Amino acid sequence: MSARTRVEDRITNAGAVSFGLALVAWYAGGSGSLDRLVDGSPLFWACGGLGVAATLFALLVQVQAGKPGHSKAFGNAAFFGVAILFISLMLAALGNRFADRSAARTHPAEVLGFKHPSKGPKRVTLEAQGQRSTQDAELAEGCVEGDLVIVEVRDGALGQPWVSRLRCPGSK
């Protein structure tokens, strides 16, 4: 077994472990934490940059271990980068939500409608201060289209605002 094959195997194994941990984080609440972000763009860009850097790092390590241009090296590097992107996104979203100790700010909003796709979670569309956002419909349980609701937004531990609660008319 050549040094290049050992390096490729280690990168593949690291990617597989990272991907497995990301799935654990997803089921531990990472997907719900991503859904509750008001605007996740900065978080997505930061984690995307980390994924690209991980891909380039893995490719560089493999190229230094042997001949460049091997197709398996590119595949391993891409898999490792995607796994790092996935786990960093899940952990950042979880950390932003669960480490947040900020006070909730309230905003009035209107429920514009509900989407019930055949696959995936049900969604609710809100309009607050002239801006529309889509959130998980579980937050709007008991609301109907056209209701005026109170949206509670927190700042997030990483500075990414997220919706902590929707208060519908007649709810506690």
Q: Which CATH number goes with the domain that contains 134?
A: 2.40.50
- Asked whether residue 70 falls in the same domain as residue 109, the answer is no
pLDDT band of residue 149 (cuts 50, 70, 90) is: very high
- Asked whether residue 9 falls in the same domain as residue 73, the answer is yes
- Asked whether residue 65 falls in the same domain as residue 149, the answer is no
- Asked whether residue 113 falls in the same domain as residue 153, the answer is yes
- Asked whether residue 66 falls in the same domain as residue 110, the answer is no
CA trace torsion 74, 19, 47, 54 (10° rounding): -30
pLDDT tens, position by position, 64-113: 777 555 667 788 888 889 999 989 999 999 999 999 999 999 989 999 98
Flag whether pLDDT at 1 surpasses 70: no
Closest CA to 31 of 94, 96, 123: 94
pLDDT for the residue numbered 105: 92
pLDDT for the residue numbered 49: 93
pLDDT for the residue numbered 11: 82
**Which residues constitute the domain of residue 64?**
3-98
Per-chain mean pLDDT for the chain: 84
Last residue of a domain, one of 49, 72, 98: 98
Burial of 53-63, coded b for 16+ CB within 10 Å and e otherwise, reads ebbeebbebbb
pLDDT for the residue numbered 101: 93
- Asked whether residue 149 falls in the same domain as residue 66, the answer is no
Residue 172 belongs to a domain: no
Name the percent of the chain lying above pLDDT 70: 92
- Asked whether residue 92 falls in the same domain as residue 110, the answer is no
Residue 150 belongs to a domain: yes
Last residue of a domain, one of 66, 83, 98: 98
pLDDT tens, position by position, 22-50: 888 888 888 788 878 887 788 889 999 99
Closest CA to 153 of 162, 142, 144: 162
- Asked whether residue 66 falls in the same domain as residue 109, the answer is no
Helix or strand (DSSP H, E) at 105: strand 105-115
CA dist., res. 160 & res. 97, Å (int): 9
- Asked whether residue 16 falls in the same domain as residue 92, the answer is yes
CA dist., res. 96 & res. 168, Å (int): 25
pLDDT for the residue numbered 19: 86
- Asked whether residue 8 falls in the same domain as residue 62, the answer is yes
Last residue of a domain, one of 41, 68, 98: 98
pLDDT tens, position by position, 126-148: 888 888 888 888 888 888 888 89
Q: What is the DSSP string of 109-156?
A: EEEEEEE--SSS--EEEEEETTEEEEEEGGGGTT--TT-EEEEEEE--
Residue 7 belongs to a domain: yes
Global pTM value: 0.78
Structurally, how many domains does the chain consist of? Answer: 2
Q: Which residues pair with 38 in a beta bridge?
A: none
